[in-house]
Amino acid sequence: MKVFKFGGASVKDSESVRNVAAILSSFKKDQVVVVVSAMGKTTNALENVVNAYMKNDPGRHEALDGVKMFHDKILNDLGFPADHPVRHHVNNCFVEIEWILEEPPARDYN
């Protein structure tokens, strides 16, 4: 079994995602486990969303919008149509985050 982990710069844009697909395509006959962590600077961007949320900063929604736009651009560049299930899944994840941002923080995040 082969285990691959991709994240950060290795999945920072559509070209990088295509490169990951090309790498994985050479292991079609193998059993593989693929782990994908945050794309590009997404971890930092999400930390900014959390910090704004914890401070009840009204800019928290705009911070999340930046993360959404980043992912939407990659989906567009990869050619996923608007009705593709991947888009629905990604959108649902962001909707759940938006719901959380509407509620007051319930606990310390440290």
Q: What's phi and psi for 28, nearest 5 deg?
A: -60, -30
The reply to whether 70 and 96 lie within a common domain is yes
Tell me the residue range of the domain where 18 lies: 1-40
Around Cβ 64, how many Cβ atoms within 10 Å? 21
Rounded CA separation 64/50 (Å) = 9
Show the tokens assigned to 41: 């600077």
Residue 106: per-residue pLDDT? 80
The reply to whether 48 and 101 lie within a common domain is yes
Residue 108: per-residue pLDDT? 75
The reply to whether 29 and 50 lie within a common domain is no
Based on the structure, what is the number of domains in the chain? 2
Encode pLDDT of 69-106 as tens digits.
Answer: 999 999 999 999 999 999 999 999 999 999 999 999 88
The reply to whether 7 and 20 lie within a common domain is yes
Encode pLDDT of 35-82 as tens digits.
Answer: 999 999 999 999 999 999 999 999 999 999 999 999 999 999 999 999
Confidence of residue 107 (pLDDT cuts 50, 70, 90): confident
Rounded CA separation 57/36 (Å) = 30
Residue 45: per-residue pLDDT? 96
The reply to whether 45 and 75 lie within a common domain is yes
Show the tokens assigned to 6: 């991709």
The reply to whether 106 and 54 lie within a common domain is yes
User: Is the Cβ–Cβ distance between 50 and 109 less than 8 Å?
Assistant: yes
Degrees to nearest 5, angle at CA 86 with 15 and 96: 115
